[in-house]
Chains A and B, each alone.
Chain A
């Protein structure tokens, strides 16, 4: 690949949207071409500046209370409607078709609920693998927990506790926002020796004490769960389950310096 071929692909490469084959070719070219490498650096610098300096406007509390009012209104009107009214749509369509739809929906939601109960670990591992493969481990890369915490609270509707446990071998390297069970969650990224450790943190689910074992293995990755400090913690790594369990317990205890 020469400059004429590589240059138009650079923005797409920088955005991580090239297919792996083209990506590898661009990378090869970048190793040998200072000019294209400088263009790539320029885009990276611009992206980093935008991420760092351009304010991200999180929804203010006043908006959240307005939204709550809208939703409360929704539920209120629902409750006041008679039961038969909610099912009147059944009469509107062909009955057989409706029955088939309802059956499909019931089966679909049963399957979804079952998957919901068993796939959390798999989903977390998938997030971990995706981040590792795409080399996009962190959205905010810093070992300073006083930077990580506000960055996360600006993007989520909660503020997870953030600790740097370098003293115990787990060095905080940054954070990103992932999705677990369709919700945005904080992912704290640590390094432990040569291993990357992702810790997913979300507010503790109310009244859903899960009976499953706190330690499981998915595709060779250890997944450890814990609850504490008002949060549910879920760590994924290829390091040993023992080290991971001790680490997560330490995080969930939340007794480090404030």
Chain B
């Protein structure tokens, strides 16, 4: 049954349900925008949108609902600031981009060379693969919730995840990451 709450109650209830996921929201925005200040703007913007559409939150899964809004806000931001990133690609370019020797902002916090290689490979993934991989590996979200956030079928979640993992495995930078025995299998 859909229960419509008075506006103010819906908003404060919405804030209450959404705020526990502030870290997840910031992490997603940070990984998609790759910039601290922009990620903050995006999350604030997303929260304002969330409060505006508070009645759309049925209380079933506040995290997926909020991250959907955060992701939309990110894409609006990327569309305004870096439209080239939204051109669909298969990620092959990303492997070459990953060989770029300049350190990315993420890498400056990591000393370990293997960890840096992994970061660089993930940061270089096309945004559509990166978001699926991070929602799965960092947020431990189910396929169903990821499908909801990105608004794609579950089958597409699975294929993008497979593609993202495949790209990481094939990335020349990561050859030092996985033990030899693991790399020779499954070619």
Contact = CB atoms under 8 A, between A and B. Distances in A.
| B: interface residue count bin | 35 or more
A11 B19 CA distance: 32
A62 interface: yes
Nearest to B158: A12
B87 interface: no
Interface stretch (A65-73, A161-169, A187-195, A245-253): A65-73
Given A55-B110, A63-B44, A50 B118 contact: yes
Contacts of A45: 178-179, 182
Interface string A1-20: 00000010001100101000
B8 A78 contact: yes
A42 B40 contact: no
Contacts of A39: 185-186
Given A41-B182, A63-B40, A67-B47, A54 B26 contact: no
Contact of A38 (B21, B22, B158, B182): B182
Contacts of A12: 158
Most A CB contacts (10 A, CB to CB) among B115, B137, B179 go to: B137
A203 to B, nearest CB: 12
Interface residues of A, number: 51
B12 A75 contact: yes
A212 interface: no
Interface stretch (A101-109, A116-124, A224-232): A101-109
B85 interface: no
Given A55-B106, A86-B7, A155-B23, A63 B178 contact: no
Given A45-B182, A182-B62, A67 B19 contact: yes
B126 to A, nearest CB: 17
B17 to A, nearest CB: 6
A19 B4 CA distance: 36
Interface in B77-131: 106, 109-110, 112, 114-115, 118-119, 122
A58 interface: yes
A102 B27 CA distance: 38
Given A54-B137, A60-B40, A155-B23, 15 more contacts: A42-B185, A45-B179, A46-B168, A47-B137, A50-B133, A53-B115, A55-B109, A57-B30, A57-B39, A58-B26, A59-B25, A64-B22, A70-B51, A75-B12, A78-B12
8 contacts: A15-B161, A42-B185, A46-B169, A53-B115, A59-B43, A70-B51, A75-B12, A182-B17
Interface of B: 1, 3-8, 11-12, 15-17, 19-23, 25-27, 30-31, 36, 39-40, 43-44, 47-48, 51, 62, 106, 109-110, 112, 114-115, 118-119, 122, 133-134, 136-138, 140, 142-143, 158, 161-162, 165, 168-169, 177-179, 181-183, 185-186
Interface of A: 7, 11-12, 15, 17, 35, 38-39, 41-43, 45-47, 49-51, 53-60, 62-64, 66-67, 70-71, 74-75, 78, 81, 86-87, 89, 101, 104-105, 108, 139, 154-157, 182-184
